[in-house]
Amino acid sequence: MTETQSTTRKLNILVGATGSVASIKIPKLVHLLRQNPEYDVKVVTTKPALHFFKASEVDAEVITDEDEWNAWRQIKDPVLHIDLRNWADVMVLAPLDANTLAKVATGLCDNLLTCVLRAWDPARPVLVCPAMNTNMWTHPFTTKHLETLETFLSYKIIPPISKLLACGDLGVGAMAEVETIVEEIHQTVHNVQSKLNDNDLK
């Protein structure tokens, strides 16, 4: 490789959207991520998340459960959740609702998003941004499930903030601000990018 050749490849970021009203911020999150020319972004979404945003509003490919089933017809056809697992360098669950949190913490994988996570390479970072009602956030199961994600799976938790929630309550449970999430992603992927570049030089 000559000195004039670039040693940097794009970093593949897979954004996961789940059934929290905070999914309304997916278009903004993707837009901000795509401002960085070093990032390639795809979105995998659960069906409930699509109540809060339209795929046409997102400046990236949006992939659903239907795509998983439509992509497979016979043995040796590509398996979408494995393809996504192999493509992504980093996964960001923003928002992570209580339902998906419980599934991931207990190993359930009944949709495309959770199948990607069940097949995930433990060496690759996962960032999660919980978003739920305050009463759900303070529930003992939430504490237990987050501990599993953080200590057993080594996920990075970006905690929710206190504000007026969609239900009208004032309290902790709102997803962290999009700008905060993007900054956390930048910090996390910096080391990933360095490792990838080092490997490319070998």
List residues with catalytic annotation: 167
How far apart are the C-alpha atoms of 197 and 10, rounded to whole Å? 10
Radius of gyration of the chain (CA): 17
* d(C-alpha 27, C-alpha 151), whole Å: 30
* Number of C-beta neighbours around residue 119 at 10 A: 14
Q: Which two tokens stand for residue 42?
A: 């795809």
CA distance 117 to 115: 5
Cβ neighbourhood burial of 71 (10 Å; 0-12, 13-18, 19+): middle
Shortest CA distance to 115 belongs to which of 151, 158, 69, 154?
69
Q: Which of 125, 116, 121, 131 is nearest to 48 (CA)?
A: 131
Cα 121 from chain centroid (whole Å): 14
